[in-house]
Structure formats: structure tokens, C-alpha cells
Amino acid sequence: MTSAKSIYKRPTSRNNLNTAPAKWNYMSDIKTYKKLIREIPIKKQSMHARKDVWRTRLGHSLFKVVEPVFSEDEITITRGEILKEKNSRLKIVKTLVWGYPKGGRGNNIKSVLKDLEKLREKLSRHKGKNLTETEAKELINKLEKVNKMGPSTWSKLLYFFEISIYSHRCQIFDKRVEQSLNASQFRDFNKEKGKWNQKKVNDFFKYIEKLDDLSKNLRVAPEQLENFLFYYNLYFKL
């Protein structure tokens, strides 16, 4: 089995890969690749971001909010670094820079940063907690309505703030993951193939439960499985 370390290549952004996802017409079992999944160095998954790009994207005044993260003109941020960050404000900023290294699209990042303190309070209050479905829906509704963010953003924040729902750890549920689930090569996801909708909160709940159950069976971390779906399932013929 080829090592994950030898073939894993970091995309420039989770949301801006240019290659169209493949469409597979055959099925295999994901357990075939459990050794590969287990070797994915998930905490080392990193993104590069440039200070000048973010300054131009945000403008001078709003850039001051993210400037503490930019210790150099070009920085590299890893999953592990964000997870270990104890300062909630910096954790949010690092999540945004990691998730959207080129500053995002439209005004979505600007909208989040303008309400950063209220967002920090919401997420800090729930950090590391295990929520009920009702509590989770209430939190997600606030993030969508008040902070104007979509599932690609709020799922990243729930993940990095280590929030669980009915004991299932939240995972990143961005557009690429949705595409991967709907084009899955694996029997494990065949029942729901073509039905996943990133914008449906119940699909997010179903997704994290599915990843949690599968990861326990495979003895891998749920985020390793998420990364496998995000990258390998879309761009490798397995």
C-alpha cells in the first residue's frame, strides 16, 4: 500500500480546487483503504496565506483584525495549530485564514469579521461541549442568520471548537465533501449517494454520525476519513 505521506499533496484551498470532481460508476469498500486513511497526517494539513492578499481583500481597517496571525508576509497554518490555539479570537481568525487562504469569495469573510466578538462569545460558550440536536440547530441558525455564514464556514468553526452533537464530533462539511459524498466510489455511502445537500442541517447531522460510526469501525480518526473523502475520493480512481 502506498503511504499517504508519499502521495498526499496539499490543495491551495479547500474551496477553490479547479479540477472537476470525477464521476464513478463502480463501487468498492472503504475498509480497503483503512491503512492509507490511518496514515494521513491530518494535524499537519496546512494552507499558505499571504499578508498582502488579505490586506487587499479586507481593506486597511478590517485587516487589523486578522493581522496578529500574520507574523510574516507569508504564513503556513496547520489543523493542529488551530486545534491547539487557546485564544478563541485567534482560533476563529486562523480557521478563516486556513479555510480561505485567498480571503474567500464576496463579502462572506468580511461579514464574519465585523461581528467577531459576538461570534467569539457564541463559540466559546459551546467549546468542547456535547449538544443536543435542538441546541445544535439553535447555534447553527444563529451562525447563519446573525453571522451570515454558510455550512462551509460554520462547520469548520464547529470542528475547530471541538463541538459534538449527540456525542458525534463535528466535522468539516464543505462543498467538496458534499460533491465527494454524492460521487462516492464506496458502498458505504451508496444508499445516500446523490442525495447529500450541504445546506440541509439534518444532512450535516447524518454526515457526522456516519463518519463517527465508520471511523470507529476502521479505527481511524473521523477527520482523517473526512480528508480522505475530500481529496482521495474525488481525485483518485480507487
Ordered DSSP codes for 7-37? H----S-SS---SPPP-----B-GGGGHHHH
Rounded alpha-carbon distances, angstroms, from residue 117 to 38, 65, 153? 37, 11, 16
Confidence at residue 11, expressed as pLDDT on a 0 to 100 scale: 52
Flag whether pLDDT at 26 surpasses 70. Answer: no
Residue 89's nearest CA partner among 109, 73, 107, 65 is 65
CA distance 82 to 1: 30
Residue scoring higher pLDDT (46 or 193): 46
Flag whether pLDDT at 22 surpasses 60. Answer: no
Grid cell, residue 191, equals 444508499
Flag whether pLDDT at 219 surpasses 80. Answer: yes
Confidence at residue 108, expressed as pLDDT on a 0 to 100 scale: 85
Q: How confident is the model at residue 1 (pLDDT cuts 50, 70, 90)?
A: very low
Q: How confident is the model at residue 14 (pLDDT cuts 50, 70, 90)?
A: low
Confidence at residue 7, expressed as pLDDT on a 0 to 100 scale: 37
Rounded alpha-carbon distances, angstroms, from residue 137 to 20, 66, 132, 198, 218? 32, 28, 9, 14, 29
R_g over Cα of the chain: 17
The 10s digit of each residue's pLDDT in 82-127 is: 999 999 999 999 999 999 999 988 788 998 998 899 999 999 999 9
Q: How confident is the model at residue 27 (pLDDT cuts 50, 70, 90)?
A: low
Q: How confident is the model at residue 235 (pLDDT cuts 50, 70, 90)?
A: confident
Confidence at residue 204, expressed as pLDDT on a 0 to 100 scale: 97
Confidence at residue 184, expressed as pLDDT on a 0 to 100 scale: 75
What is the sign, positive or negative, of the torsion defined by CA atoms of 223, 179, 25, 211?
positive
Flag whether pLDDT at 69 surpasses 80. Answer: yes
> How far does the chain reach from its first CA to its final CA, in angstroms?
12
Cβ proximity of 180 and 194 under 8 Å: no
Flag whether pLDDT at 187 surpasses 90. Answer: no
Give the number of residues written for the chain: 238
Cβ proximity of 192 and 181 under 8 Å: yes
CA distance 132 to 234: 32
9: left (phi over 0), alpha (psi -120 to 50) or beta: beta
The 10s digit of each residue's pLDDT in 35-62 is: 999 999 999 999 999 999 999 999 999 9
pTM of the model: 0.87
Backbone angles phi, psi at 76, to 5 degrees: -125, 125
Confidence at residue 6, expressed as pLDDT on a 0 to 100 scale: 38
